[in-house]
Structures are given as C-alpha cells and as structure tokens.
Amino acid sequence: MRGRMRSILGVLSFVLFAALAAPAPVLAGGSDGVADLLARSARAWNGGDLTTFMRSYANAPDTVYISAKSVIRGYAAIRAHYAARYGRSGMGVLSFSDLTVRQLGGDYAVAVARWHLALPGGGHPTGLFSLVLQRSSGGWHIITDHSP
C-alpha cells in the first residue's frame, strides 16, 4: 500500500509540475495590444514623430536599449540615441514582420520580430529584435529592447 501511495503521489507531483511549468502560449501577430503598440510606433516613426514613437517605451530610468555595440539605460538616453542617429537624415519607413508574442503572466510579454527600415537615402537595413514589455494602467510599454 505504501509503495502504491508513493507511486500515486509521484504521478500527481509530476502532473502538477508539468502543468505549472508549461510555457505560456505563443500568439502570432500580438497579444492584448502588443501588436497594436508596435503598429502605432511604426506609424509615428514613418510620420517622423520621434516623440510619439518614444511613447512605446516606458518613461523610466531603468528602461534599457541593447544594440550590437552598447547598452543604453534610461528613457531620456534612448530618446537621445534615436534623435542623434535618425534625427538629422530623416527617419525613413519602418515596418515589422514575423511578429510573435509570448505572454509572461498577466502584465509582461516578450515580442520577437524582424524590423525593416527603408531609409530616405536608399538604404534598406533589416534585423531581428526582442522586446520585453510591461502592461500598466497606461497600456503596454517596452522596458527592454534588444535590437542588435
């Protein structure tokens, strides 16, 4: 009887562990407004409106942007980075493809996608990014942007 009880408890423990450890669903195209946030940010970028584009980011000193060469900490520093890099030559046309969003609990999500930028001078850089987003009463905001 003891051995049988251990077996039953072992199976129940495994089932409970598997249920708790199961990953959150991956939702193509966005989750609870993340895709909408990215669409709004692209429209602002394409309109040359850096102020509205930056509303996608959490306005906080611990918001982080990670590029291939550096880590930029803080909303103001990230805004200054974008202004210095794109403010003089024009911002171009930004679009995203292959968006996948994974919900991490109720108020956090990770988005992975490809960005495409058609520059005014004719260049067409592209790359991958991952974003960590946090939802607050004001909606979703990027708290970490990894765009190498």
Say what the pLDDT of residue 109 is: 97
Distant-in-sequence, close-in-space partners of 66: CB < 8 Å, separation ≥ 6: 72, 144, 145, 146, 147, 148
Say what the pLDDT of residue 45 is: 95
Say what the pLDDT of residue 31 is: 53
pTM of the model: 0.79
Q: What does the radius of gyration of the chain's CA atoms come to, in whole angstroms?
A: 20
From first to last of its 148 residues, the chain has per-residue pLDDT tens of 554 444 433 333 333 233 333 344 444 444 559 999 999 999 999 999 999 999 999 999 999 999 999 999 999 999 999 999 887 678 999 999 999 999 998 899 999 999 999 999 899 999 999 999 999 999 999 999 999 8
Say what the pLDDT of residue 90 is: 81
Domains delineated in the chain: 24-146 (3.10.450.50)
Distant-in-sequence, close-in-space partners of 28: CB < 8 Å, separation ≥ 6: 99, 100, 101
